[in-house]
Amino acid sequence: MQVTLMKGKIHRARVTDADLRYEGSISIDRDLIEAAGFLVNERVDVYDIDNGKRFSTYAIEAPAGSGTIGLTCAAARLAMVGDKGIIVAYAGFAVAEATAFRPCVVLVDDNNRVISAG
């Protein structure tokens, strides 16, 4: 049997950009991608804290240290610059593996800089 668990999340990240014309998804500061254990092009779910909208897209890399959380293409219609959100990646595990797994939770400040990760 397989179960799906949260693999990693970035909690309360602030949307910094929205671009309807760019092909893509959600651009995430490389430092945050690494801290959360995400892979470039990995499917992520985004939960907007301010408006309650939830959607799935894929992660693309923004420059390290930029603090960028940028929504592009269709995702840019679902949140506004300044909105806070949660970005989550999930993974499938065998039950035995799942009981020992611990997700990476990244807390960020208002500039999307890592406060804590673990």
Q: What is the pLDDT of residues 65-106, one digit of tens each?
A: 999 999 998 889 999 999 999 999 999 999 999 999 999 999
Average pLDDT on 7-32 reads: 94
58 noted as active-site residue: yes
Average pLDDT across the chain, whole number:
96
> Which tokens in the block code for residue 8?
């990693």
pLDDT for residue 22: 80
98: Cβ–Cβ under 8 A, 6 or more apart, which residues? 3, 5
Q: Say yes or no to pLDDT of 24 above 80.
A: no
Bridge partners (DSSP) listed for residue 38: none
Average pLDDT on 61-65 reads: 97
First and final C-alpha spacing in the chain? 27
Neighbours of 30 (CB within 10 A): 16
> Which is the catalytic residue, given 47, 58, 66, 90?
58
Nearest of 21, 60, 65 to residue 44 by alpha carbon: 60
Average pLDDT on 26-50 reads: 98
90 noted as active-site residue: no
**Amino acid (1-letter code) at residue 99:** T
CATH 2.40.40.20 fits 2-117, yes or no: yes
69: Cβ–Cβ under 8 A, 6 or more apart, which residues? 13, 14, 15, 16, 17, 26, 27, 28, 29, 32, 62, 85, 87, 112
Q: Say yes or no to pLDDT of 113 above 90.
A: yes
